[in-house]
Chain A
Amino acid sequence: MNGNAQFLVLNPAGPVARIELHLIVVSIILVLIIVIPVMLLLAYITRRYRDHPDNTAPYMPEWSESKLLEIIWWGIPVAIVGILGVYTVYDTFALVRPPMKSASPLTVQVTSLNWKWLFQYPDQGIATVNEVDIPANRPVQFVITANSPMNGFWVPQLGGQEYAMPGMAMRLWLEADKPGIFYGHGGNFTGRGYAKMAFHVVSRPQRDFDRWVKLVKQSSPALTQSGYQQLVNAQSNTPTLLFSSYPAGSFERTIRHQGGMYMQRDLSIINADR
Chain B
Amino acid sequence: MLPHYWPTLVTGDPLIYGADASIGLVSIAIVFVLTYYKKWGWLWREWLTTVDHKKIGILYLIAALLMLFRGGVDALLMRTQLSRPNLHFLAADHYDQIFTTHGTIMILFVAMPLIFAMFNIVVPLQIGARDVAYPYLNAISFWMFFFGALLLNISFVIGGSPDAGWVSYAPLTENQFDHGPGENFYIMALQITGIGSMATGINFIITILRMRAPGMTLMRMPLFTWSALAASIVVIYAFPALTVALGLLLIDRVAGAHFFSMDHGGNPMMYANLFWIWGHPEVYIVILPAFGVLNEVFPAFSGKRIFGYSTMVASFMAITILSFLLWAHHFFTMGAGPGVNAFFALASMAIGIPTGVKVFNWMFTMYRGRVRMPMPMRWAVGFIPNFVVGGATGVMLATAPGDYQYHNSYFLIAHFHQVLIGGTIYGMFAGMYFWWPKMFGFLLEERIGRLAFWLWNVGFYVTFFPQYLLGLMGMTRRIYTYPAGMGWSSLNLLSTVGAVIMGLGFLFIVWNILYSVMHRSELRDVTGDPWNARSLEWSLPSPAPHYNFAVIPTITRRDEWWEIKKYGRTEDYRPQPGEIQDIHMPNNSGRPFLFSVAFFVVGLGFVFEWYAVVILGFAGVLAIMLHRSQEVDDGHQIPADEIRHEEIALGRL
Contacts and interface: CB of A to CB of B under 8 A. Distances in A.
A and B touch in the complex (CB under 8 A): yes
Contacts of A8: 472-474
A49 B370 contact: yes
A49 B395 contact: no
A69 B392 CA distance: 21
A1 B474 CA distance: 15
A138 interface: no
Contacts of A152: 333, 407-408, 476
A7 B473 contact: yes
A79 to B, nearest CB: 10
B372 A51 contact: yes
Q: Tell which of A84, A187, A188, A190 has the most Cβ of chain B within 10 Å.
A: A188
Interface string B154-173: 00000000001100010110
Interface in B458-511: 469, 471-474, 476-483, 486-488
B344 to A, nearest CB: 10
Nearest to B331: A163
Contacts, number: 279
B307 interface: yes
Given A160-B405, A187-B408, A87 B262 contact: no
A31 B359 CA distance: 14
Contact of B369 (A3, A59, A70): A59
A65 B308 contact: yes
A9 B350 CA distance: 26
Interface string A89-105: 10111011000000000
B352 to A, nearest CB: 6
Interface in A123-161: 148-150, 152, 154, 156, 159-161
B110 interface: no
Interface string A2-15: 01001111100000
A212 interface: no
A89 to B, nearest CB: 5
Given A42-B384, A61-B304, A188-B169, A20 B334 contact: no
A111 to B, nearest CB: 13
Interface string B336-369: 0110011001100110110011011101111111
B311 interface: yes
Contact of B401 (A20, A65, A168, A170): A20
Q: Tell which of A32, A69, A92 has the most Cβ of chain B within 10 Å.
A: A92
Given A77-B357, A189-B164, A92 B341 contact: yes
Contacts of A88: 342, 345-346, 349, 398-402
A192 B469 contact: no
Contact of B357 (A61, A74, A149, A160): A74
Interface stretch (A21-29, A200-208, A219-227, A243-251): A21-29
Interface residues of A, number: 92
A216 interface: no
A161 B338 CA distance: 14
Given A85-B349, A154-B476, A163-B333, A20 B402 contact: yes
B395 A31 contact: yes
Contacts of B262: 166-167, 258-259
Nearest to A160: B404
Interface in B368-397: 368-373, 381, 384-385, 388-389, 392-393, 395-396
8 contacts: A27-B402, A35-B392, A59-B370, A66-B308, A69-B360, A161-B408, A162-B333, A163-B334
Interface of A: 1, 3, 6-10, 17, 19-21, 23-24, 27-28, 30-32, 34-35, 38-39, 41-42, 45-46, 49-51, 55, 57-66, 69-70, 73-74, 77-78, 81, 84-85, 87-89, 91-93, 95-96, 114, 148-150, 152, 154, 156, 159-163, 165-168, 170-171, 183, 185-195, 198, 257-259, 262
Interface of B: 92-93, 96, 164-165, 169, 171-172, 177-178, 262-263, 265-269, 302-309, 311, 331, 333-335, 337-338, 341-342, 345-346, 349-350, 352-353, 356-357, 359-361, 363-373, 381, 384-385, 388-389, 392-393, 395-396, 398-405, 407-409, 469, 471-474, 476-483, 486-488
